[in-house]
Every structure is written in structure tokens, then in C-alpha cells.
Structure 1
Amino acid sequence: MAVQKVFKRYEYKYLLTREQKELLQNVMEEYMIPDEYGKSTICNLYFDTPQYLLIRRSIENKVYKEKVRLRTYGRAEPAGEAFIELKKKYKKVVYKRRICTEYEKAIQYLCRGERVVGESQIGEELDYALRLYQGIRPAMWLSYEREAFYGKEDHELRMTFDQNILWRTEDLDLSSPIYGRSLLDEDQSLLEIKVGHAIPLWLSHFLTENKMFRTSYSKYGNAYRTLLREGKINYV
């Protein structure tokens, strides 16, 4: 049975050195605890049109943008757990609709249009997106090693550190081995802070005092820009 989840939050991103990450994690021990997945390898398939319409709209900083992706924790297995996600961003607020189903069924739905998610509001939104973006298909495989935490008192506060971000545009199968081109330097990590409202004062003070500044960073977007620079995509 497909399990649904809906998220509404603000997301802030920071590129950190190894030293900055270690310093922050020492402070976090008082306020944060590892979530249910703790340390994990996350694998994603991003879906897009042949003209890369979704990512082009995203990096153009439109008021409204959305992404369609399929996610697994580790390499996928046919009957293993997979998450079909529709991620929207409107006026800096992130809305994520998520359905959990079997990997094989998710592929049948996303690639062949076979309805496997049942009748639901999220299912209808996914159906609409697949109809709207004509020719949508797997466009990029992307993985990373993640450490995830949530607040001891504020469970809406989540912090994740992503390292070893890899991507490729061939072998677009989440059951395939994990390999690809790297996005970050070896000692870098991407911090994402996810909150329902404002960043807590302890964290805001720490970031300011240690000159850790917010950045605009899209994993899929940066990999797409690499393809553009290399002349492998003709659409601009």
C-alpha cells in the first residue's frame, strides 16, 4: 500500500568545510538527535522533459518551481521501498508531496503511466504533473551520503549534512551501482536547515558568529549547469 506524506517548510542551505561541520556538530549535541535514518546513502532519479523544462525554470529563480523525483535509501530492489516525490517551491516556501511504494511499481507509474498509487490528492497532483510535462522521463541519477538530525524540543527543525554528491546522465536506474561525477570538493558538505517557521536563536547566533552564510544551491541544478558548460545540452 502506498503511504503518503506532506511537508511544508522553509529550507536554507550552506556550504561548509570539514572544520565548520565538526564545529557545528559539536554544538548540535545539546539540541539535536539523529533521525530514524541517521547516516544513509540517498539515491535519486530526477525526471524532466527532453528540453529540461523543470530544472531550467528552477534555476531561473521563478516565483513557482517544481521537481519530480524518485528516491530510495541505498540501491533499489524491485520490491523495496521507494518514494515518489513532487517538490514545489512558491515564494520561498517548500511544499513536498510524497508517496511510498515499491520501486518496481514506482517505475511502472513514472515511466509507463501504470497507475499504482491509488486514488488520492497526492496521486492526482502527480498525475497532473506527468500530463503537464510532455515527454517527462528519467533525466539524471544523483546520490549522496547524508547525516540527518531533528530537534530535541522542536521536531519540525531538521538539519542534514550531504557529502560525496555524485551524478550521472547514463545508467538511470536506482538499482545500479553507486558511481558518478562529484559535485563537491572532498572536504565540503552541504548543510540544509529545514524549519516550519524561523531558525532557532542558538543556531542563528552560531551561524552568524562563525561566518557561515546562506547559499542558493541545487544539486540537480549545478549538475545541469555543468552539462551546459560542457556543451552537452543545447537548450539554454
Structure 2
Amino acid sequence: MELNEFKQRLRLRTYGPARASEPAFLEIKKKFLKKTYKRRVTVDYQTATAFLMTQVLPTNQITREVAALRVQQQDPVIKIAYDRVALHATQATSDLRISFDRNVRYDMAELDIATETIGYQLLKPGMVLMEIKTE
């Protein structure tokens, strides 16, 4: 296998502001031979942040994988936020998804996603990031 043919990381994701009782997603994102796979478990934000400290979650296959990866992975390194418009194909036979992200910003010092202040713009003013996903 060449360098970077397999990568995986753990991430904590919320849609909207991170609040104690709101849904949060602990995701494993794997890239293998240029294909991306995601596995995630949905818990409330308070449970997700407690897990990152104690590594204790209700037990099922995905949470065991998340816990194993958390043991291997170091502390968080970056927080990314954006305002997204996501579009999905309406035909059942299509897996086409297109998203438009604006106001893309990041922070490498304040990593708590419950803190809405995020320091640095990633794109030049007026720019939009478009992502197209399909098999």
C-alpha cells in the first residue's frame, strides 16, 4: 500500500449550535483507495463531549469502533464551521448530492464547538465552496 491509501479520523459534528440536549454525531471517516466511508452514532451533545473525556458510550458495534479510534487518535486539532445549502437528487435511482458552503471558517485555538466564535475565514469574501458527491 502506498502512503495515504488508508486514513481514518474521528470527528464530532453538529448541525446548528452545539447545545447539551441537541443531537450530535460521533463519526468515523475512513478513506481507503480514494473512496470515503462514514460510520456514525447519534447521541446528544452532552453525551458526545463526555465520551471524548471518559470514552464511555452505550455499547454497540459502531460505538465500539468510535471508542477504539478515540484511544488511538490524539486531541482535537481544528474546528471548522460553515453555512451550508445541501441539495439532493429527487429521483430514487440517483445518489447525486450537491452542497454549497459559504462563510467557511476555522479555529485551531478554541476547539469547543459549543463556542460559536470561530476565528479565521478560509475563503476570500464572496467565494462559495461547491461539493458534488455521487458514486
> Quick check: TM above 0.5?
yes
Distance 1:189 1:65 in 2: 27
Q: How does 1:189-204 map to 2 (within 5 A)?
A: 189-195=128-134, 197=135
Partner of 2:13: 71
Q: Alignment RMSD, CA only?
A: 1.7
Partner of 2:42: 100
Match of 2:113 among 174, 180, 186: 174
Please state how far the C-alpha of 1:103 moved relative to its aligned partner.
0.5
CA contact (8 A) 1:111 1:137 kept: no
CA contact (8 A) 2:10 2:27 kept: yes
Distance 1:79 1:98 in 2: 18
CA contact (8 A) 1:143 1:178 kept: no
Please state how far the C-alpha of 1:170 moved relative to its aligned partner.
2.1
The number of aligned residues is 133
Partner of 1:124: 64
Q: How does 1:1-236 map to 2 (within 5 A)?
A: 62-113=4-55, 115-116=56-57, 118-133=58-73, 136-153=74-91, 154-195=93-134, 197=135
Moved over 4 A (4+): none
Distance 2:113 2:80 in 1: 9
SS at match of 1:165: strand
CA contact (8 A) 1:142 1:167 kept: yes
Bigger relative contact order (CA 8 A; separation at least 6): 1
CA contact (8 A) 1:75 1:178 kept: no
SS at match of 2:116: coil
- Normalising by structure 1, report the TM-score: 0.53
Change (3 A) 1:160 1:101: same
Distance 2:114 2:94 in 1: 32
- Which amino acid counterpart does residue 110 of structure 2 have in structure 1? D
SS at match of 1:108: helix
Map Cα deviations across residues 173-229 of structure 1 (whole Å, 9 max, x no partner). Answer: 12212331011111222111111x2xxxxxxxxxxxxxxxxxxxxxxxxxxxxxxxx
SS at match of 2:86: strand
Of 102-111 and 154-163, deviating more is 154-163
SS at match of 2:69: helix
Distance 2:103 2:50 in 1: 29
- Return the index of the structure with the highest Cα Rg: 1
- Which amino acid counterpart does residue 88 of structure 2 have in structure 1? Y
What percent of counterpart residues are identical?
A: 33
SS at match of 2:78: strand
Distance 1:140 1:112 in 2: 20
Unpaired segments ≥5 residues, structure 2: none
- Which amino acid counterpart does residue 80 of structure 2 have in structure 1? L
